[in-house]
Amino acid sequence: MTTQTRHGVFETNSSSTHSISICHNVSGVYETLPIDDNGVAHLMGGEFGWDHDYFYDAESKASYCAIYAYDLPEQREMLVEVIKEVTGAKDVAFDFTTDWDSGRFSYIDHQSSEVPEEAFRSKEALKDFVFNPDSYLETDNDNH
């Protein structure tokens, strides 16, 4: 193995820098999710990596939380309960997987994978994050 030492060069182990903003909903106005003819809300997952973007819509924020909660039974159940309560859905389908080998693979970049944890501190916080149009998710990276 060869080691190279460089002087005067800025280097970083850069990765994603996600953040969430949870606003308490004082107006009582919440967004909803599409419900199919069978009363099911479908969470499609997605790829939340290094792109710089803001997500205010309930579908994206619900999918972000669903990816986080995918293998965490208590958080998954909390998300399902909140979605059912707000939307009136009979069921919630996780229409993705966190299995890399699947064609429906979804992920949150590993450096930001714990960011959604704050939304799960209570059902009210989760409801406000996902369904309050003033709450948002910002994705970015530290390569700037």
Residue 8's pLDDT is 46
Long-range contacts of 87-90 (CB under 8 A, 24+ apart): 87/32, 87/33, 87/35, 87/41, 88/35, 88/39, 89/33, 89/35, 89/39, 89/40, 89/41, 90/38, 90/39, 90/40
Residue 129's pLDDT is 96
pTM here is 0.85
Within a domain: 144: no
Residue 76's pLDDT is 97
- The pair phi, psi for residue 127, each rounded to 5°, is -60, -45
Within a domain: 4: no
Average pLDDT, the chain: 86
Within a domain: 120: yes
The tens digit of pLDDT for each residue in 43-76 reads 999 888 878 899 999 999 999 999 999 999 999 9
Within a domain: 36: no
The tens digit of pLDDT for each residue in 80-110 reads 999 999 999 999 999 998 888 777 888 887 7
Tally the domains of the chain: 1
Within a domain: 47: yes
- Mean pLDDT for 27-33 is 91
Within a domain: 53: yes
Residue 144's pLDDT is 54
* Enclosing domain of residue 114: 41-139
Within a domain: 10: no
Please give the radius of gyration of the chain, using alpha carbons only, rounded to the nearest integer: 17
pLDDT at residue 39 tops 70? yes
Within a domain: 12: no
